Each structure stands twice: as structure tokens, then as C-alpha cells.
Amino acid sequence: MTTTGTSIGSSQTTTLPSNNDTNDLAKYGLQGLSSLVRMEQTDFTSYAIGQDIGKCGLDLSPNAKILKNLASPWSETSRSEVEPQFQIPLHLQNSQLKDHQIDPATCDSKIQNFTDETLFYIFYMKPRDTLQEYAARELVARNWRYHKDIQVWLTKDSNVEPVLIGQDVEKGVYIFFDPHNWEKIRKEFVLHYSSVQA
């Protein structure tokens, strides 16, 4: 901005816009907005109002799969050129996986081979999934119990016999699995049977 001098006896200062300010006002001010409204094609029009996908030459019928044909409206190649056509051989296709069905017998036989840490991973990382249920069943089969109040898995330490304190309360040494630090912690604990899910 440039400032002109003041006249004698005048307290007003006149400010004239500089050349950069004039260009910015033309682009982003009311003058730029009016050209945008009139749809005069400039570099900024597409940024401000977007692109009409109907003008991209795509099949927009309800059954058309646009994502297979279009990677981006600005790309020079179509998606079909980027990803080649292929067929999965029949002997590699697994209809159970394709239909998202898990055979219980297969899952039970495989899950028995997993370590405790793998079962904990499945339990905590697959919430509300069939695999979480299978992992929980296998952990229970391995003598792990889920504590409902503190929400962790625990098992009795096989080296120390627990002492019965009451009818449904015992004190002993237990091994807890800490999901936050991903480690097994051994500590003395008073266990109420009603708090444990079998």
C-alpha cells in the first residue's frame, strides 16, 4: 500500500491499494465471486464448486461400478489400466471365506494350536466376532477365567494352592493378563467366584 501526502490544513490520509492487493481483490473479492457465479472457467472455479461427474463420460446407471473404471477425474489413466484383469484358479478359491462363513470344526481344531498370547490378541482385537468367541472358549479350556469387574483374564498359579476364606471367596496367587502392557502379571488376590465368568 502506498500513502499519499496530506494537504495543508487537512487531517485526512488517502491510501491507495498496491498492485498485489488489486490482483487479490480481483480474484477473491466480489469481482472474482461474480465471475464464479457466471461460471466463467478459470483455474479457481473447479476448486470452488467442484466437478460435474456427469461430464466425465462415466456410466452413471444404478448398476454400474464406477470405482472399477475411475481412479480419479484428474488422472490420465483409467483404473482398469492400473489393475490388470485376473482370475483366481478354482483350487485356490475358498467358498467359505468368500461367503464369510467359518466352519466351526475347522476353527476349533486350528485355534487349539495357538499360544495364549495369540488367543488374547484375537479376543481383544476381534470384538463381537465369531473368532472372539472361539478364543474365549479356548482360554476357558486352558483354565483362564474372565473377571467381570476388573475386565481381565486370570488363572490360578499352579505352584500355590488358594486358601478358601468364605463360601464363595478364596485368596491365592493368580496370573493376570494385562491387555494394556500385553504381559502376564503374577500377584496375590482375593477372588469372589461370582465375579468370574466361567
Residue 117 in any domain: the answer is yes
Q: Are residues 110 and 184 in the same domain?
A: yes
Q: Range of 105's domain?
A: 101-197
pLDDT in tens, 28-45: 777 777 766 666 665 556
**pLDDT, position 105:** 65
Q: How many CB atoms lie within 10 A of CB 33?
A: 12
Query: Residue 14: how many CA atoms within 13 Å on its side-chain side?
Result: 6
Q: How many domains does the chain have?
A: 2
Residue 124 scores a pLDDT above 60: yes
Cα–Cα distance for residue pair 90/142, rounded to 1 Å: 38
**pLDDT, position 12:** 56
Cβ-Cβ contacts under 8 Å for 197 (sequence gap 6 or more): 145, 146, 147, 148
Closest CA to 194 of 166, 161, 157: 166
Confidence bin at 100 (pLDDT 50/70/90): low
Q: Are residues 191 and 128 in the same domain?
A: yes
Q: Are residues 34 and 109 in the same domain?
A: no
Q: Are residues 37 and 109 in the same domain?
A: no
* H-helix or E-strand spanning residue 110: helix 104-111
Q: Are 170 and 161 in contact (CB under 8 A)?
A: no
C-alpha cell at 8: 495543508
Residue 96 in any domain: the answer is no
pLDDT in tens, 49-62: 666 667 766 677 77
Residue 48 in any domain: the answer is yes
Residue 2 scores a pLDDT above 50: no
Q: Are residues 130 and 42 in the same domain?
A: no
pTM exceeds 0.85 for this model: no
**pLDDT, position 61:** 79
pLDDT in tens, 73-96: 566 555 545 566 778 777 777 665
Q: Are residues 107 and 187 in the same domain?
A: yes
Q: Are residues 126 and 187 in the same domain?
A: yes
Q: Are residues 176 and 111 in the same domain?
A: yes
Q: Are residues 121 and 184 in the same domain?
A: yes
Residue 68 in any domain: the answer is no
Q: What is the CATH number of the domain that holds 137?
A: 2.30.30.1020
Q: Are residues 44 and 112 in the same domain?
A: no
C-alpha cell at 168: 464363595
pLDDT in tens, 129-163: 888 899 999 999 999 999 999 999 999 998 888 88
The residue-averaged pLDDT of 1-8 equals: 48
Q: Are residues 46 and 123 in the same domain?
A: no
Q: Are residues 188 and 108 in the same domain?
A: yes
